[in-house]
Chains A and B, each alone.
Chain A
Amino acid sequence: MSWAEEVAELNRRKQLSEQMGGPEGVARQRERGKLTARERIHALADADSFREFMGLTGRAQYKGDALVSFVPKPQVEGTIRIGGRKAIVKASDFTVRGGAGGSPGEHLGQELSASARSIEWRIPMIRLLDAAGGSVRGFEELGRTYLPDGNSFTAPEVKLLSIVPVVSAVLGSVAGLPAIFGPLSHFSIMVKGISQLFPGGPPVVKAALGYDITKEELGGDAIHVKVSGCIDNLAETEQDAFAQIRTFLSYLPSSVDEMAPRVTTGDPPDRREEALLSIVPRNRRRPFDGRKLLQTIVDKDSFFEIAPQYGRARVTGLARMNGYTVGIMANNPMINGGATDVAAGSKAIRLIQLCNTFHLPLISLADEPGFQVGLEAEKQGIERAGARIVSTVCLSEMPWCTVVIGRLYGVAGQCHHRPSGMFRRYCWPSANWGSMHIVGGASAAYRREIESAADPEAKRQEIEARLNALASPFRTAEATGQDIIDPRETRPLLCEFVEDAQRILRTQLGRPSMPYLP
Protein backbone atom coordinates (compact mmCIF):
# COMPACT_ATOMS: atom_id res chain seq x y z
CA MET A 1 0.00 0.00 0.00
CA SER A 2 1.34 3.41 -0.93
CA TRP A 3 0.14 6.97 -0.24
CA ALA A 4 -0.74 7.55 -3.87
CA GLU A 5 -4.34 8.33 -3.03
CA GLU A 6 -3.37 11.10 -0.59
CA VAL A 7 -0.87 12.50 -3.09
CA ALA A 8 -3.70 12.58 -5.65
CA GLU A 9 -5.76 14.50 -3.08
CA LEU A 10 -2.86 16.90 -2.52
CA ASN A 11 -2.60 17.51 -6.25
CA ARG A 12 -6.35 18.06 -6.55
CA ARG A 13 -6.21 20.67 -3.77
CA LYS A 14 -3.24 22.39 -5.41
CA GLN A 15 -5.22 22.54 -8.65
CA LEU A 16 -8.16 24.12 -6.84
CA SER A 17 -5.82 26.75 -5.39
CA GLU A 18 -4.35 27.45 -8.80
CA GLN A 19 -7.82 28.24 -10.13
CA MET A 20 -7.79 31.26 -7.78
CA GLY A 21 -11.28 32.87 -7.64
CA GLY A 22 -12.53 30.78 -10.57
CA PRO A 23 -12.78 31.32 -14.34
CA GLU A 24 -15.20 34.26 -14.15
CA GLY A 25 -13.06 36.25 -11.73
CA VAL A 26 -9.94 35.50 -13.77
CA ALA A 27 -11.71 36.65 -16.95
CA ARG A 28 -12.70 39.94 -15.24
CA GLN A 29 -9.11 40.43 -14.07
CA ARG A 30 -7.94 40.08 -17.69
CA GLU A 31 -10.66 42.45 -18.95
CA ARG A 32 -9.23 45.09 -16.63
CA GLY A 33 -5.88 44.64 -18.39
CA LYS A 34 -4.31 42.97 -15.37
CA LEU A 35 -2.29 39.77 -14.98
CA THR A 36 -3.43 37.28 -12.35
CA ALA A 37 -1.52 36.95 -9.08
CA ARG A 38 0.14 33.74 -10.27
CA GLU A 39 1.05 35.18 -13.67
CA ARG A 40 2.59 38.15 -11.89
CA ILE A 41 4.78 35.99 -9.68
CA HIS A 42 5.98 34.00 -12.67
CA ALA A 43 6.76 37.19 -14.61
CA LEU A 44 8.70 38.62 -11.64
CA ALA A 45 10.66 35.53 -10.57
CA ASP A 46 13.67 33.81 -12.09
CA ALA A 47 12.46 30.78 -14.10
CA ASP A 48 11.05 27.90 -12.02
CA SER A 49 12.05 29.50 -8.74
CA PHE A 50 8.63 30.00 -7.08
CA ARG A 51 8.19 27.92 -3.91
CA GLU A 52 4.70 28.55 -2.62
CA PHE A 53 3.85 28.52 1.06
CA MET A 54 0.42 28.31 2.68
CA GLY A 55 -0.86 27.28 -0.75
CA LEU A 56 -3.46 24.89 0.64
CA THR A 57 -5.11 27.51 2.82
CA GLY A 58 -8.62 28.65 2.06
CA ARG A 59 -12.29 28.12 2.76
CA ALA A 60 -13.43 24.53 2.25
CA GLN A 61 -16.92 23.04 2.24
CA TYR A 62 -17.51 19.37 2.92
CA LYS A 63 -20.37 16.97 2.38
CA GLY A 64 -19.66 14.31 4.95
CA ASP A 65 -15.96 13.64 4.45
CA ALA A 66 -15.92 14.75 0.82
CA LEU A 67 -14.54 18.16 -0.17
CA VAL A 68 -17.18 19.76 -2.39
CA SER A 69 -15.82 23.26 -2.89
CA PHE A 70 -12.69 25.22 -2.08
CA VAL A 71 -11.84 28.92 -2.39
CA PRO A 72 -8.19 29.73 -1.72
CA LYS A 73 -7.17 32.64 0.51
CA PRO A 74 -6.90 35.94 -1.41
CA GLN A 75 -3.10 35.99 -1.48
CA VAL A 76 -0.52 33.91 -3.30
CA GLU A 77 2.76 33.82 -1.37
CA GLY A 78 6.08 32.09 -1.33
CA THR A 79 9.76 32.50 -2.04
CA ILE A 80 11.26 33.28 -5.42
CA ARG A 81 14.69 33.96 -6.78
CA ILE A 82 15.13 37.36 -8.37
CA GLY A 83 18.46 38.06 -10.05
CA GLY A 84 19.59 34.77 -8.52
CA ARG A 85 18.83 35.81 -4.93
CA LYS A 86 15.98 34.70 -2.69
CA ALA A 87 13.10 36.98 -1.78
CA ILE A 88 9.60 36.63 -0.40
CA VAL A 89 6.71 37.57 -2.63
CA LYS A 90 3.18 38.21 -1.48
CA ALA A 91 0.65 38.86 -4.25
CA SER A 92 -2.93 39.87 -3.54
CA ASP A 93 -5.41 37.81 -5.52
CA PHE A 94 -8.14 40.24 -6.55
CA THR A 95 -10.21 37.38 -8.01
CA VAL A 96 -10.87 36.09 -4.47
CA ARG A 97 -13.13 38.57 -2.63
CA GLY A 98 -11.30 41.55 -4.16
CA GLY A 99 -8.07 40.47 -2.49
CA ALA A 100 -9.49 41.42 0.92
CA GLY A 101 -8.78 39.73 4.24
CA GLY A 102 -7.12 36.37 4.67
CA SER A 103 -4.30 37.51 6.93
CA PRO A 104 -3.07 34.64 9.09
CA GLY A 105 -5.19 34.47 12.22
CA GLU A 106 -4.07 33.36 15.61
CA HIS A 107 -5.06 29.72 15.34
CA LEU A 108 -3.08 27.15 17.27
CA GLY A 109 -0.39 25.89 14.95
CA GLN A 110 -0.72 28.90 12.66
CA GLU A 111 2.21 29.08 10.22
CA LEU A 112 4.33 32.26 10.11
CA SER A 113 3.16 35.19 7.99
CA ALA A 114 5.14 36.22 4.93
CA SER A 115 6.57 39.26 6.73
CA ALA A 116 7.63 37.18 9.75
CA ARG A 117 9.40 34.76 7.40
CA SER A 118 11.07 37.67 5.65
CA ILE A 119 12.44 38.86 9.00
CA GLU A 120 13.53 35.40 10.17
CA TRP A 121 15.11 34.41 6.86
CA ARG A 122 16.66 37.85 6.25
CA ILE A 123 15.41 38.14 2.66
CA PRO A 124 13.65 41.00 0.83
CA MET A 125 9.85 41.33 0.83
CA ILE A 126 8.08 42.10 -2.44
CA ARG A 127 4.38 42.99 -2.24
CA LEU A 128 2.26 42.85 -5.37
CA LEU A 129 -0.78 44.82 -4.20
CA ASP A 130 -4.17 44.43 -5.85
CA ALA A 131 -6.62 44.54 -2.97
CA ALA A 132 -9.26 46.76 -1.48
CA GLY A 133 -8.75 46.17 2.24
CA GLY A 134 -11.70 45.40 4.50
CA SER A 135 -15.29 45.40 3.34
CA VAL A 136 -18.55 45.81 5.27
CA ARG A 137 -19.50 42.38 3.87
CA GLY A 138 -17.05 41.05 6.48
CA PHE A 139 -19.36 42.33 9.23
CA GLU A 140 -22.20 40.13 7.98
CA GLU A 141 -19.96 37.07 7.83
CA LEU A 142 -18.82 37.69 11.41
CA GLY A 143 -22.22 38.75 12.65
CA ARG A 144 -20.62 41.75 14.35
CA THR A 145 -18.27 44.65 13.72
CA TYR A 146 -14.74 44.77 15.08
CA LEU A 147 -12.28 47.29 16.46
CA PRO A 148 -9.86 48.24 13.68
CA ASP A 149 -6.77 46.90 15.46
CA GLY A 150 -3.87 46.01 13.27
CA ASN A 151 -0.80 45.79 15.40
CA SER A 152 -0.53 42.02 15.27
CA PHE A 153 -0.08 42.04 11.50
CA THR A 154 1.18 45.55 10.74
CA ALA A 155 3.95 45.65 13.37
CA PRO A 156 6.11 43.10 11.47
CA GLU A 157 5.59 45.11 8.26
CA VAL A 158 7.02 48.17 10.04
CA LYS A 159 9.86 46.18 11.59
CA LEU A 160 10.79 44.83 8.15
CA LEU A 161 11.85 48.29 6.97
CA SER A 162 14.90 48.35 9.24
CA ILE A 163 15.92 44.74 8.43
CA VAL A 164 15.34 43.79 4.78
CA PRO A 165 14.60 45.59 1.49
CA VAL A 166 10.85 46.07 1.00
CA VAL A 167 9.28 46.78 -2.38
CA SER A 168 5.61 47.48 -3.10
CA ALA A 169 3.98 47.37 -6.52
CA VAL A 170 0.50 48.86 -6.82
CA LEU A 171 -1.16 46.72 -9.48
CA GLY A 172 -4.84 47.60 -9.28
CA SER A 173 -7.24 49.80 -7.33
CA VAL A 174 -5.69 49.55 -3.90
CA ALA A 175 -7.52 50.89 -0.85
CA GLY A 176 -7.55 50.55 2.94
CA LEU A 177 -4.58 48.91 4.66
CA PRO A 178 -3.11 47.68 1.34
CA ALA A 179 -2.97 51.35 0.25
CA ILE A 180 -0.78 52.09 3.27
CA PHE A 181 1.44 49.13 2.33
CA GLY A 182 2.23 50.98 -0.93
CA PRO A 183 4.46 53.64 0.64
CA LEU A 184 5.37 51.42 3.63
CA SER A 185 8.39 50.33 1.63
CA HIS A 186 11.84 51.38 0.42
CA PHE A 187 10.70 51.50 -3.20
CA SER A 188 7.22 51.59 -4.71
CA ILE A 189 5.90 51.52 -8.23
CA MET A 190 2.59 51.74 -10.09
CA VAL A 191 1.55 50.86 -13.64
CA LYS A 192 0.02 53.34 -16.05
CA GLY A 193 -3.75 52.91 -16.38
CA ILE A 194 -4.34 49.98 -14.00
CA SER A 195 -3.07 51.35 -10.67
CA GLN A 196 -4.85 53.64 -8.25
CA LEU A 197 -4.24 54.26 -4.58
CA PHE A 198 -6.52 55.76 -1.91
CA PRO A 199 -7.70 55.09 1.64
CA GLY A 200 -11.25 55.13 0.24
CA GLY A 201 -12.30 55.19 -3.42
CA PRO A 202 -14.84 57.29 -5.34
CA PRO A 203 -17.98 55.94 -3.56
CA VAL A 204 -16.43 56.78 -0.18
CA VAL A 205 -15.43 60.24 -1.42
CA LYS A 206 -18.96 60.78 -2.72
CA ALA A 207 -20.46 59.80 0.64
CA ALA A 208 -18.02 61.92 2.66
CA LEU A 209 -17.53 64.99 0.49
CA GLY A 210 -20.37 64.85 -1.99
CA TYR A 211 -18.50 65.10 -5.24
CA ASP A 212 -17.95 62.75 -8.17
CA ILE A 213 -14.46 61.77 -9.16
CA THR A 214 -13.00 58.85 -11.11
CA LYS A 215 -10.57 56.37 -9.60
CA GLU A 216 -7.85 57.59 -11.93
CA GLU A 217 -8.43 61.27 -11.08
CA LEU A 218 -8.45 60.48 -7.38
CA GLY A 219 -5.48 58.18 -7.05
CA GLY A 220 -3.85 57.51 -10.42
CA ASP A 221 -0.21 58.02 -11.31
CA ALA A 222 -0.77 61.70 -12.20
CA ILE A 223 -1.44 62.22 -8.49
CA HIS A 224 0.86 59.78 -6.78
CA VAL A 225 4.11 59.76 -8.72
CA LYS A 226 3.95 63.45 -9.56
CA VAL A 227 2.13 65.43 -6.87
CA SER A 228 1.84 63.42 -3.64
CA GLY A 229 5.02 61.35 -3.95
CA CYS A 230 3.27 58.42 -2.23
CA ILE A 231 4.54 56.13 -4.98
CA ASP A 232 8.06 56.47 -6.36
CA ASN A 233 8.13 55.27 -9.95
CA LEU A 234 5.76 54.75 -12.85
CA ALA A 235 5.93 51.71 -15.14
CA GLU A 236 4.38 51.54 -18.60
CA THR A 237 3.41 47.87 -18.19
CA GLU A 238 3.43 45.24 -15.45
CA GLN A 239 6.52 43.69 -17.10
CA ASP A 240 8.23 47.08 -16.88
CA ALA A 241 7.31 47.29 -13.18
CA PHE A 242 8.84 43.85 -12.52
CA ALA A 243 12.00 44.85 -14.43
CA GLN A 244 12.33 48.01 -12.28
CA ILE A 245 11.85 45.99 -9.06
CA ARG A 246 14.55 43.56 -10.21
CA THR A 247 16.90 46.47 -10.94
CA PHE A 248 16.21 48.21 -7.62
CA LEU A 249 16.90 45.03 -5.62
CA SER A 250 20.08 44.30 -7.58
CA TYR A 251 21.79 47.23 -5.81
CA LEU A 252 20.85 46.15 -2.29
CA PRO A 253 22.01 43.47 0.12
CA SER A 254 19.46 40.80 1.11
CA SER A 255 19.36 42.31 4.60
CA VAL A 256 21.07 44.84 6.88
CA ASP A 257 23.43 42.05 7.97
CA GLU A 258 25.13 41.77 4.59
CA MET A 259 27.20 44.00 2.33
CA ALA A 260 25.58 45.09 -0.94
CA PRO A 261 26.68 42.91 -3.86
CA ARG A 262 29.46 44.29 -6.05
CA VAL A 263 29.37 43.72 -9.82
CA THR A 264 31.78 44.29 -12.69
CA THR A 265 30.71 47.29 -14.74
CA GLY A 266 33.79 47.63 -16.94
CA ASP A 267 33.89 51.41 -16.46
CA PRO A 268 37.44 52.40 -15.40
CA PRO A 269 37.49 54.05 -11.95
CA ASP A 270 40.16 56.52 -13.13
CA ARG A 271 38.06 57.76 -16.10
CA ARG A 272 38.56 61.54 -16.33
CA GLU A 273 35.64 63.17 -18.09
CA GLU A 274 36.75 66.27 -20.05
CA ALA A 275 33.16 67.54 -20.26
CA LEU A 276 33.15 68.19 -16.51
CA LEU A 277 35.57 71.10 -16.97
CA SER A 278 32.88 73.11 -18.75
CA ILE A 279 29.58 71.59 -17.55
CA VAL A 280 28.95 74.52 -15.16
CA PRO A 281 28.33 77.66 -17.26
CA ARG A 282 30.42 80.70 -16.28
CA ASN A 283 27.19 82.73 -16.52
CA ARG A 284 25.79 81.99 -13.05
CA ARG A 285 22.25 82.52 -14.26
CA ARG A 286 22.57 79.58 -16.65
CA PRO A 287 21.81 76.20 -15.02
CA PHE A 288 23.49 72.90 -15.83
CA ASP A 289 21.61 69.61 -16.05
CA GLY A 290 22.03 67.93 -12.65
CA ARG A 291 20.93 64.54 -13.98
CA LYS A 292 23.47 64.65 -16.81
CA LEU A 293 26.23 65.63 -14.37
CA LEU A 294 25.39 62.68 -12.15
CA GLN A 295 25.28 60.23 -15.07
CA THR A 296 28.68 61.41 -16.29
CA ILE A 297 30.30 60.61 -12.95
CA VAL A 298 28.86 57.19 -12.01
CA ASP A 299 29.63 53.89 -13.79
CA LYS A 300 28.17 54.07 -17.30
CA ASP A 301 24.40 53.34 -17.46
CA SER A 302 24.36 52.36 -13.79
CA PHE A 303 22.03 55.09 -12.49
CA PHE A 304 18.58 53.95 -11.30
CA GLU A 305 16.48 56.98 -10.52
CA ILE A 306 13.93 56.94 -7.70
CA ALA A 307 10.88 59.22 -7.91
CA PRO A 308 11.99 61.10 -11.05
CA GLN A 309 8.70 62.98 -11.43
CA TYR A 310 8.35 64.15 -7.82
CA GLY A 311 10.41 66.83 -6.05
CA ARG A 312 12.25 67.36 -9.31
CA ALA A 313 14.64 69.99 -7.92
CA ARG A 314 16.56 67.02 -6.48
CA VAL A 315 17.62 63.95 -8.46
CA THR A 316 18.01 60.86 -6.25
CA GLY A 317 18.73 57.20 -6.87
CA LEU A 318 21.10 54.27 -6.74
CA ALA A 319 24.17 53.83 -8.91
CA ARG A 320 27.50 52.07 -9.03
CA MET A 321 31.02 53.41 -8.62
CA ASN A 322 33.68 50.92 -9.70
CA GLY A 323 30.97 48.27 -9.28
CA TYR A 324 30.06 49.18 -5.68
CA THR A 325 26.51 50.35 -4.92
CA VAL A 326 26.13 53.98 -3.88
CA GLY A 327 23.17 56.19 -3.07
CA ILE A 328 23.55 59.42 -5.01
CA MET A 329 21.72 62.73 -5.11
CA ALA A 330 22.19 65.98 -7.00
CA ASN A 331 20.42 69.31 -6.95
CA ASN A 332 18.90 69.96 -10.34
CA PRO A 333 19.19 73.70 -11.06
CA MET A 334 16.98 73.26 -14.14
CA ILE A 335 13.96 72.97 -11.79
CA ASN A 336 13.27 75.82 -9.34
CA GLY A 337 16.95 76.65 -9.41
CA GLY A 338 17.59 73.36 -7.57
CA ALA A 339 16.12 74.76 -4.34
CA THR A 340 15.07 72.27 -1.67
CA ASP A 341 11.30 72.32 -1.25
CA VAL A 342 9.30 69.90 0.92
CA ALA A 343 9.12 67.32 -1.89
CA ALA A 344 12.81 67.47 -2.83
CA GLY A 345 13.66 67.37 0.87
CA SER A 346 11.59 64.25 1.48
CA LYS A 347 13.43 62.52 -1.37
CA ALA A 348 16.76 63.45 0.23
CA ILE A 349 15.57 62.13 3.62
CA ARG A 350 14.49 58.81 2.12
CA LEU A 351 17.77 58.37 0.23
CA ILE A 352 19.86 59.12 3.35
CA GLN A 353 17.73 56.62 5.31
CA LEU A 354 18.04 54.01 2.55
CA CYS A 355 21.83 54.36 2.57
CA ASN A 356 22.01 54.32 6.36
CA THR A 357 19.77 51.25 6.60
CA PHE A 358 21.52 49.12 3.97
CA HIS A 359 25.03 50.40 4.63
CA LEU A 360 25.64 52.10 1.29
CA PRO A 361 27.96 55.09 0.83
CA LEU A 362 26.19 58.33 -0.08
CA ILE A 363 27.36 60.78 -2.70
CA SER A 364 25.91 64.26 -2.84
CA LEU A 365 26.54 66.58 -5.79
CA ALA A 366 25.59 69.94 -4.34
CA ASP A 367 24.47 73.07 -6.14
CA GLU A 368 22.24 74.17 -3.32
CA PRO A 369 20.62 77.62 -3.41
CA GLY A 370 18.80 76.95 -0.13
CA PHE A 371 15.38 76.00 1.10
CA GLN A 372 12.55 77.10 -1.16
CA VAL A 373 11.26 80.52 -0.13
CA GLY A 374 7.79 81.97 -0.68
CA LEU A 375 4.23 81.61 0.52
CA GLU A 376 3.65 78.21 -1.12
CA ALA A 377 6.70 76.77 0.68
CA GLU A 378 5.46 78.18 4.01
CA LYS A 379 2.05 76.56 3.50
CA GLN A 380 3.74 73.22 2.91
CA GLY A 381 5.79 73.56 6.08
CA ILE A 382 9.31 74.09 4.75
CA GLU A 383 10.75 74.63 8.26
CA ARG A 384 9.51 71.26 9.55
CA ALA A 385 10.87 69.67 6.38
CA GLY A 386 14.17 71.40 7.16
CA ALA A 387 14.10 70.12 10.74
CA ARG A 388 13.55 66.58 9.44
CA ILE A 389 16.42 66.80 6.96
CA VAL A 390 18.78 68.19 9.60
CA SER A 391 17.77 65.39 12.01
CA THR A 392 18.17 62.67 9.39
CA VAL A 393 21.61 63.97 8.43
CA CYS A 394 22.78 64.06 12.06
CA LEU A 395 21.40 60.60 12.91
CA SER A 396 22.97 58.91 9.88
CA GLU A 397 26.37 57.25 10.05
CA MET A 398 27.12 55.73 6.63
CA PRO A 399 30.18 57.09 4.81
CA TRP A 400 29.26 60.20 2.84
CA CYS A 401 31.09 62.29 0.29
CA THR A 402 29.81 65.64 -0.95
CA VAL A 403 31.14 67.42 -4.02
CA VAL A 404 30.21 71.08 -4.08
CA ILE A 405 29.64 71.85 -7.74
CA GLY A 406 28.15 75.34 -7.57
CA ARG A 407 26.20 77.10 -4.85
CA LEU A 408 26.07 75.99 -1.22
CA TYR A 409 23.87 78.32 0.79
CA GLY A 410 22.00 78.48 4.03
CA VAL A 411 20.72 75.65 6.19
CA ALA A 412 19.89 73.58 3.10
CA GLY A 413 23.59 73.92 2.21
CA GLN A 414 24.44 72.64 5.68
CA CYS A 415 22.41 69.50 4.90
CA HIS A 416 25.06 68.37 2.41
CA HIS A 417 27.53 68.10 5.29
CA ARG A 418 27.78 65.83 8.32
CA PRO A 419 30.25 66.77 11.02
CA SER A 420 30.67 63.19 12.26
CA GLY A 421 31.66 59.74 11.04
CA MET A 422 33.38 59.10 7.71
CA PHE A 423 32.65 62.26 5.77
CA ARG A 424 34.60 63.91 2.97
CA ARG A 425 33.93 67.08 1.02
CA TYR A 426 35.50 68.22 -2.24
CA CYS A 427 34.75 71.51 -4.00
CA TRP A 428 34.97 72.51 -7.61
CA PRO A 429 36.52 75.88 -8.52
CA SER A 430 33.04 76.92 -9.71
CA ALA A 431 31.71 76.60 -6.15
CA ASN A 432 30.55 79.51 -4.02
CA TRP A 433 28.99 79.49 -0.60
CA GLY A 434 27.82 81.33 2.42
CA SER A 435 25.26 81.43 5.19
CA MET A 436 23.21 83.42 2.69
CA HIS A 437 23.34 84.82 -0.85
CA ILE A 438 25.23 88.06 -1.44
CA VAL A 439 22.50 89.39 -3.74
CA GLY A 440 19.51 90.03 -1.49
CA GLY A 441 21.67 89.48 1.59
CA ALA A 442 23.52 92.76 0.96
CA SER A 443 20.28 94.73 0.69
CA ALA A 444 19.18 93.37 4.06
CA ALA A 445 22.43 93.65 6.01
CA TYR A 446 23.52 97.07 4.68
CA ARG A 447 20.05 98.62 4.38
CA ARG A 448 20.80 101.82 6.30
CA GLU A 449 24.08 102.41 4.46
CA ILE A 450 22.37 101.87 1.08
CA GLU A 451 19.31 103.98 1.84
CA SER A 452 21.34 106.94 3.13
CA ALA A 453 23.69 106.97 0.11
CA ALA A 454 23.31 109.68 -2.54
CA ASP A 455 22.88 106.94 -5.17
CA PRO A 456 21.47 103.86 -3.33
CA GLU A 457 21.67 101.57 -6.38
CA ALA A 458 25.34 102.43 -6.98
CA LYS A 459 26.03 101.90 -3.27
CA ARG A 460 24.33 98.49 -3.32
CA GLN A 461 26.39 97.44 -6.35
CA GLU A 462 29.58 98.69 -4.69
CA ILE A 463 28.86 96.64 -1.55
CA GLU A 464 27.98 93.56 -3.59
CA ALA A 465 31.20 93.87 -5.61
CA ARG A 466 33.20 94.12 -2.37
CA LEU A 467 31.51 91.00 -0.98
CA ASN A 468 31.79 89.07 -4.25
CA ALA A 469 35.54 89.61 -4.21
CA LEU A 470 35.59 87.67 -0.91
CA ALA A 471 33.54 84.80 -2.35
CA SER A 472 36.43 83.03 -4.11
CA PRO A 473 36.57 79.44 -2.80
CA PHE A 474 40.36 79.79 -2.56
CA ARG A 475 39.97 82.35 0.25
CA THR A 476 38.00 79.78 2.26
CA ALA A 477 40.57 77.09 1.44
CA GLU A 478 43.40 79.31 2.77
CA ALA A 479 41.72 79.46 6.15
CA THR A 480 39.89 76.13 6.61
CA GLY A 481 41.80 73.46 4.72
CA GLN A 482 38.88 72.81 2.36
CA ASP A 483 40.12 70.82 -0.67
CA ILE A 484 39.34 72.16 -4.12
CA ILE A 485 39.68 69.77 -7.05
CA ASP A 486 39.89 69.76 -10.84
CA PRO A 487 36.33 68.69 -11.86
CA ARG A 488 37.85 65.98 -14.07
CA GLU A 489 39.26 64.30 -10.94
CA THR A 490 35.77 63.86 -9.50
CA ARG A 491 35.11 60.29 -10.59
CA PRO A 492 38.57 58.90 -9.67
CA LEU A 493 38.38 60.54 -6.21
CA LEU A 494 34.81 59.34 -5.58
CA CYS A 495 35.70 55.77 -6.67
CA GLU A 496 38.57 55.84 -4.17
CA PHE A 497 36.27 57.14 -1.44
CA VAL A 498 33.73 54.39 -2.10
CA GLU A 499 36.48 51.76 -1.97
CA ASP A 500 37.74 53.14 1.36
CA ALA A 501 34.16 53.27 2.66
CA GLN A 502 33.79 49.48 2.40
CA ARG A 503 35.97 48.93 5.50
CA ILE A 504 33.84 51.29 7.56
CA LEU A 505 30.57 49.87 6.21
CA ARG A 506 31.61 46.38 7.31
CA THR A 507 31.85 47.67 10.89
CA GLN A 508 28.30 49.08 10.63
CA LEU A 509 26.52 45.90 9.50
CA GLY A 510 23.37 44.95 11.40
CA ARG A 511 20.63 47.18 12.76
CA PRO A 512 20.94 50.75 11.43
CA SER A 513 21.63 53.72 13.71
CA MET A 514 18.06 54.98 13.18
CA PRO A 515 14.91 53.13 12.17
CA TYR A 516 13.74 53.57 8.59
CA LEU A 517 10.60 55.72 8.66
CA PRO A 518 8.68 55.77 5.38
Chain B
Amino acid sequence: MRKQEIKSELAGTVQSVPAVGQKISPDDELVILESMKMEIPVGSKWAGTVSEVRVQPGATVAEGDVLVVIEVG
Protein backbone atom coordinates (compact mmCIF):
# COMPACT_ATOMS: atom_id res chain seq x y z
CA MET B 1 0.00 0.00 0.00
CA ARG B 2 1.27 3.45 -0.95
CA LYS B 3 1.01 6.15 1.71
CA GLN B 4 0.28 9.75 0.82
CA GLU B 5 0.58 12.79 3.04
CA ILE B 6 -2.12 15.44 2.80
CA LYS B 7 -0.56 18.81 3.57
CA SER B 8 -2.05 22.18 4.41
CA GLU B 9 -1.72 24.78 1.67
CA LEU B 10 -2.23 27.64 4.11
CA ALA B 11 -1.93 28.74 7.70
CA GLY B 12 -5.11 28.35 9.74
CA THR B 13 -6.94 26.68 12.60
CA VAL B 14 -8.18 23.10 12.34
CA GLN B 15 -11.95 22.91 12.61
CA SER B 16 -12.66 19.24 11.89
CA VAL B 17 -10.71 16.08 11.06
CA PRO B 18 -11.62 12.60 9.73
CA ALA B 19 -11.46 9.38 11.77
CA VAL B 20 -8.63 6.86 11.35
CA GLY B 21 -9.90 4.02 9.17
CA GLN B 22 -12.36 6.23 7.31
CA LYS B 23 -12.72 5.35 3.60
CA ILE B 24 -12.35 8.32 1.31
CA SER B 25 -12.91 9.21 -2.34
CA PRO B 26 -11.30 12.04 -4.30
CA ASP B 27 -13.01 15.38 -3.60
CA ASP B 28 -14.23 14.28 -0.15
CA GLU B 29 -13.61 16.97 2.46
CA LEU B 30 -11.08 15.45 4.85
CA VAL B 31 -10.14 18.41 7.00
CA ILE B 32 -11.78 21.80 7.40
CA LEU B 33 -9.41 24.66 8.19
CA GLU B 34 -10.50 28.07 9.34
CA SER B 35 -8.58 30.99 7.87
CA MET B 36 -9.61 34.64 7.37
CA LYS B 37 -13.14 33.84 8.64
CA MET B 38 -13.53 31.24 5.85
CA GLU B 39 -13.93 27.48 6.21
CA ILE B 40 -11.45 25.95 3.79
CA PRO B 41 -11.97 22.30 2.87
CA VAL B 42 -8.89 20.15 2.30
CA GLY B 43 -9.44 17.12 0.08
CA SER B 44 -7.41 14.23 -1.28
CA LYS B 45 -6.51 13.60 -4.91
CA TRP B 46 -6.61 9.87 -4.19
CA ALA B 47 -9.16 7.33 -2.99
CA GLY B 48 -8.12 5.27 0.02
CA THR B 49 -8.26 4.95 3.78
CA VAL B 50 -7.24 7.39 6.48
CA SER B 51 -4.28 5.80 8.29
CA GLU B 52 -3.10 8.67 10.48
CA VAL B 53 -4.53 11.97 11.67
CA ARG B 54 -1.69 14.32 12.64
CA VAL B 55 -3.73 17.31 13.86
CA GLN B 56 -6.66 17.86 16.21
CA PRO B 57 -9.50 20.41 16.08
CA GLY B 58 -8.39 23.74 17.51
CA ALA B 59 -4.75 23.24 16.48
CA THR B 60 -2.96 25.95 14.52
CA VAL B 61 -1.24 24.73 11.36
CA ALA B 62 1.31 26.35 9.08
CA GLU B 63 1.55 26.08 5.32
CA GLY B 64 3.11 22.73 4.43
CA ASP B 65 2.17 20.93 7.69
CA VAL B 66 1.00 17.33 7.26
CA LEU B 67 -2.64 17.04 8.30
CA VAL B 68 -3.55 13.47 7.46
CA VAL B 69 -1.83 10.40 6.02
CA ILE B 70 -3.83 8.14 3.76
CA GLU B 71 -3.24 4.69 2.33
CA VAL B 72 -4.00 4.91 -1.34
CA GLY B 73 -6.20 2.26 -2.96
Residues of chain A having any CB pair with chain B under 8 Å: 283, 285-287, 312, 333-337, 339, 369
Contacts and interface: CB of A to CB of B under 8 A. Distances in A.
B10 to A, nearest CB: 6
Contacts of B37: 285, 337
B36 interface: yes
B41 to A, nearest CB: 8
Contacts of B38: 285-287, 333, 337
Interface string B25-50: 00000000001111111000000000
A286 B42 CA distance: 12
Q: Interface majority SS on B: helix, strand, loop or mixed?
A: strand
Nearest 6 Cβ contacts at the A-B interface: A337-B36, A337-B38, A285-B39, A287-B38, A336-B36, A286-B39
Interface size range on B against A: under 10
Contacts of B35: 336-337
A285 B40 CA distance: 8
26 contacts: A283-B39, A285-B37, A285-B38, A285-B39, A286-B38, A286-B39, A286-B41, A287-B38, A287-B39, A287-B40, A312-B9, A333-B38, A334-B9, A334-B10, A334-B40, A335-B9, A335-B10, A336-B10, A336-B35, A336-B36, A337-B35, A337-B36, A337-B37, A337-B38, A339-B36, A369-B36
B65 to A, nearest CB: 15
Interface of B: 9-10, 35-41
Contacts of B9: 312, 334-335
Contacts of B41: 286
Given A285-B38, A333-B38, 7 more contacts: A287-B39, A334-B10, A336-B35, A337-B35, A337-B36, A337-B37, A339-B36
Nearest to B42: A334
A445 to B, nearest CB: 19
Contacts of B36: 336-337, 339, 369
B33 to A, nearest CB: 10
Nearest to B33: A334
A335 B36 CA distance: 9
Contacts of A312: 9
B45 to A, nearest CB: 14
A228 to B, nearest CB: 16
Interface centre among B36, B39, B41, by most chain A C-beta atoms within 10 angstroms, is B36
A283 B37 CA distance: 12
Residue of B9, B37, B38 with most partner-chain A CB within 10 A:
B38
A333 B41 CA distance: 11
Nearest to A285: B39
Contacts of A337: 35-38
Contacts of B40: 287, 334
A484 to B, nearest CB: 24
A283 B39 CA distance: 10
A333 B36 CA distance: 9
Nearest to B34: A285
A300 to B, nearest CB: 20
Nearest to A372: B36
Contacts of A369: 36
Contacts of A336: 10, 35-36
A335 B40 CA distance: 8
A225 to B, nearest CB: 15
B35 to A, nearest CB: 7
Contacts of B10: 334-336
A75 B40 CA distance: 49
B8 to A, nearest CB: 11
A7 B60 CA distance: 73
Contacts of A286: 38-39, 41
A287 B43 CA distance: 14
Nearest to B39: A285
A427 B41 CA distance: 26
Nearest to A226: B63
A369 B37 CA distance: 11
A443 B20 CA distance: 42
Contacts of A339: 36
A133 B41 CA distance: 47
Nearest to A286: B39
A405 B54 CA distance: 35
A369 B35 CA distance: 13
A390 to B, nearest CB: 23
A285 B41 CA distance: 11
A143 B40 CA distance: 63
A173 to B, nearest CB: 26
A369 B38 CA distance: 11
Contacts of A334: 9-10, 40
B30 to A, nearest CB: 15
Nearest to B36: A337
A339 B37 CA distance: 11
